[in-house]
Amino acid sequence: MMVNVIETAAQAAAIVRAELPKVQKEERVFVLPLNANGKLLAKPILVSVGHEDGTTTIDAGTIFREALMAGAEEIIVAHNHPSGDPTPSRDDYKATVRLNEGAELVGLKLIDHIIVGADDSANGLGFVSMTDFSGIW
């Protein structure tokens, strides 16, 4: 079922989770392109696939290019943690700050950066929303 308007981080996480393989061996980074009213303009766009050693690159240029090509005014960035634990790493925090700053420069608004984990992780939510951490932006 395609959601027309994304109103919550849980909705965004569910949409991304549907795009992930059943067995997750590497991180996958997605961008969800939205219009100014939060309407999803396309299915999540896969912008990066990491390596099995756990390393991945959140490439802001690719994210912004794909979002702008989809006509986005707002974006949600999401990635999975194959370990199942969606607790943000130091690199996740840094990437979120960089994405927010870069989005402003190219005329986009970063709504959230979501980290998807196992279904029962994060007190049963299965994801972490970076906007829940004060001081990010």
d(CA 84, CA 62): 25
33-44 average pLDDT score: 96
Structural domains of the chain, ranges and CATH numbers in brackets = 9-132 (3.40.140.10)
- The answer to whether residues 40 and 76 touch, using CB atoms and an 8 Å cutoff, is no
72-79 average pLDDT score: 97
SS3 at position 94: helix
DSSP 132: G
pLDDT at 55: 58
The kind and range of the H/E element at 45 are: strand 45-49
d(CA 113, CA 49): 16
d(CA 51, CA 35): 32
- Bridge partner residues of 75 (DSSP): 33, 110
Give the pLDDT confidence of 96-110 residue by residue, as tens digits: 999 999 999 999 999
pLDDT confidence bin for 22, thresholds 50/70/90: confident
Residues 43-60 as b or e (16 or more Cβ within 10 Å = b): ebbebbebeeeeebebeb
pLDDT at 79: 96
d(CA 83, CA 76): 22
Percentage of the chain beyond pLDDT 90 is: 81
d(CA 115, CA 66): 20
